[in-house]
Structure 1
Amino acid sequence: MQGSRLAFGPFVLDPDAGTLLRNDEPVAIGHRGIKLLVALVERPGEILGKAELMDAAWPDMAVEEGNLTVQIAQLRKLLGPAAGGGEWITTVPRIGYRFTGATHQLPGAKRKTLPLPDKPSIAVLPFLNISNDPEQGSFADGLTEDLIADLSRVPGLFVIARNSAFAYKGKAMDVRAIAEELGVRYLLEGSARRAAGRVRINAQLVDAMSGDHLWAERFDRSLDDIFAVQDEVTAKIVEALLGRLRAPPPRNRPKSVEAYDLCVRARKLMDDAPQAAQEAHLLLTRAISLDPDYAEAYRWLAMNHWMGWVHSGGPTDATRRLALELARKAVAIDPSDAGCRWVLAYLLAYERSFAEADAEFARAIELDPNEADTFAALSDITVLAGRVEEALEHIRKAFRLNPFPASWYYLTLGQAQYAAGQYEAAVETLRSEETYRTSSRRFLAASLAQLGRLDEARAEAELFLVANPQFSARHWAETEPFRDARTLEHFVDGYRKAGLPE
């Protein structure tokens, strides 16, 4: 999933990785700087207008032109003089800027191949929607997600998480290449069609190493049988991979297909547009009204309230109580669902109910050792408990199960790296394309400050404060569930050095 790199002078620019190397050594460059440099270097010799460059670096944002001027000045400083003493980037008065260097393309950096686990390993690729109705795409997505969840709960299997599986949606790639990138041997692929109260599902299990098809089957059933079909597909895969026919552990299934559809749509909204919390809330509330015993809807509604805390700057007593109540309800309905368990565990930690939170995390892992989100959330809480090496182990495991995760994994990794004193690694993580966002900047600023790069640290702190004007280190310390005073002081020290308010 890597494109070409661009070389000029002693530099190599990797647009996909968001990195710049000078003589094979990384150059500390910010997210906006990378975006601007890519736009310029991809069109050498052309004049790029200021508006076009601002769109490249600040898409869908209204920013002042002075921001562009500052970023260009920083780029010039980082790049230094071009061959012959000129500038790599020249100003075209009243119009824009031009990249003057000669460039050539290099092959994309090959992603490091992940070693195969010591157990049968599988990824479920997004099922194709072959109906004539594009709206049925969410049904195919939901089928994929449920099969991942079913397989994930089977002891003896290693199962790639949904975020990483969906990184391949709509992409035509060789199965061997996908398997290598994900570090698995087997792939499940298929298609789904839903119409007139019936579903038609085609599924096939492929050994990516040999290219052999281990199992394939077509299901043509009533829509009311969709969950029975999922159970049957899972059992057949387990039989093919583990040599025995075994039904997956029982799950709480919705009684209403409409409620199921609403929950799938809400999950997608929360993945793709966290700011659409209100719309997701309406969908999940409707799903619960249709099926009051649907555990997953309660789980996602609890998370919806949690995301509301994150994006609004902090919880209120009412939202905190409601989220916790919803998470407890989800676990009460389906005690065997690891996803419900880790959500409850995370919320309990923020309530300082640490013993109960630890027990729920442990139970979630016992129920589903392939649930990557459990390990990522546990890493966050474990850092705050002062068990930093353990936290790093948890987040590394989360990345192995979910090689293309949501951005909060990178924030969690960067936080753990900072806590471990791995400041250079934290800067690299927190400046990556996947995570460079407002909420990560406080950790980035602290990491830069600890490295003595105070100008960069203060610039990141200022950007963080633009979106979080009420932030103070003291208030943050009060709201985060710290259990270790030394770890807390380490973070506060970094914030203080970066110039964030105490």
Structure 2
Amino acid sequence: MLRDLIERRVFRYVVAYAAASWGVLEVIDQLVGNDVLPQVAYRIVLTLAICGLPGALIVSWFHGAKGRQEIPPIERWLLAAVAVFALTTTGFVTKMTAGADAARPVAALSPTENPARVAVLYMEPRGGEEAEFLASGLTEALIDQLSEVRGLYVVSRNGSQVFRHVQAPPDSIARTLEVGSLVAGTVSVSGDRVRVDVALTSGLRGEQLASRRLERPRAEIFALQDELADTVAVFLRRAIGRELGARFLRSATKAVRAWELVHQAGQEQDGAALLVAANDLDAAARRLATADSLLALAEQEDPAWVEPVLQRGWVAYAVSRLGGVERSHNEQWIARGLEHAERALASHPNNADALELSATLRYRRYLLNLAGSPTEADELFHRAERDFRASIAANGGARASAQNSLSHLLINKGELAEAKLNALQAYATDPFLENVNLTLWRIFTASWGLQDGVEAARYCTEGNRRFPDDYRFSQCRLMLLALPGMQEGLADAWRVLDEFTEESPPQVREVNRRRGMMYISIALARAGMADSAKSVIYAARTGADIDPLRDLAQLESITWSVLGNTKEAVRQLEVYLSANPQALHGLRTDAQRHDLPWYHQPLLDEPEFRALVGLR
């Protein structure tokens, strides 16, 4: 056999084929690197080169020997089979990696264009030795904090030291350190006040992208330094994230007008979000309608660009949320959003954004009980879970928003440990802190569901510190009171309830007020104040017009369970299940495994409960 291989010069053919393939790949790599060819071109050529190796072996076997040779039929069949295999594999690879470039925008940018490559220059001190000490410490603390963020490349202290006492233009610094973003600022100490001015600048263009001023009273120097570093780091991570997103959008289309329209639509969406926060939902709806119109025009400018399609889906999702839990409104806008998601997936089946959009809309449809049957509800739930997981995988496991949503889904599935793990991973893999408030909320709710008071209190406190105006972190303070042994703050419960109600979005404000009252009733029951707990329950009850999902009935069942009235607890749970039939299967499964949530554990041996969930 070895003699035949040598005589037919198979090894020589294989080496020549490998050398030629390498040369072609080098040329393609240069063309891709200079934006002459798209990223997918390299993958296509690489796949063809690998699949073509059997063809080289076949040709060398039949024609490598010296002398005149015929082309036998079997060679034709073998080469045809190799060609079909190569083309099929190439098509599959092209299809499956269609969304890969969108999942890795950073890789498409050169070092000096990439905002995620950062140099923190030493802050300029103003105000004597104390200012100098604080400026130096703050700079190094920022370098250390940002260096720990996955997704950022941060120049080391030694790299920043090179320009500590040197006046150089931003573009020179950026080219020398190979970064796209520069952080610079001043630290001023005057009297009993410390002021920090910090700015994020584009390295090559010298354009200021964002700035922030902080003023603090003078305090113990190390504590002050840590506080300032933490606040500035959060600001910088968000600013870099926004710039990176904008930079990637600019590089994803050659149609300048399409990019301009998408950029304008993004501004309309941002404006709508501010109007929602200000409780002006009608004005928010108008701005979202404008955003959708701009995105439709962008689609016409560049039909191959998936971003306008995706953004139209997210606009539809945002509009659906304006309607609270109103059925027909949500059915209309979720369906419209799913149309855009399916269009995006048809052309980019592995696009992380498209998969997340599809999952988010299906999961919202499930949560609002819009499925026509229990079977359809089950299909929605499992398709949403599958698409969330696929979105995370398509982005290399680092997709905080999808991990957040998957965590919420897993909480509803009863998989609390995995839900908390996903939320913790989201916390670690959200380099630009776009979803950190939701991440903290998911970690809290998973900890609460696991009856882990210490961890729940920790993340509730962190959420309140970082997002004092987010209604969720007033709600978590009420939820903590419902845990065993956590009733110390009961005296402040009604004040916290007022804050929770005031901070809640207008479309859910009334149901949230009553939800908060139900948590207070659980706390009162745990504190042994049965009559007070019952009075609060009766005051919090409402009809389906305010609480169409009957979530309040489920919370009421917890209070009755704590009070020892399991029959009334089961009756309220029946009210909840009548409005949420899709939840029955999961509850039955948990009961069969003796793995009910802690707040339903007392019901496990009750005949009425077992009959309700279909157990003997």
Normalised to the residue count of structure 2, the TM-score between the two structures is 0.40
Report which of the two has the higher share of helix. Answer: 2
Which has the greater radius of gyration?
2
Report which of the two has the higher share of strand. Answer: 1
Normalised to the residue count of structure 1, the TM-score between the two structures is 0.48
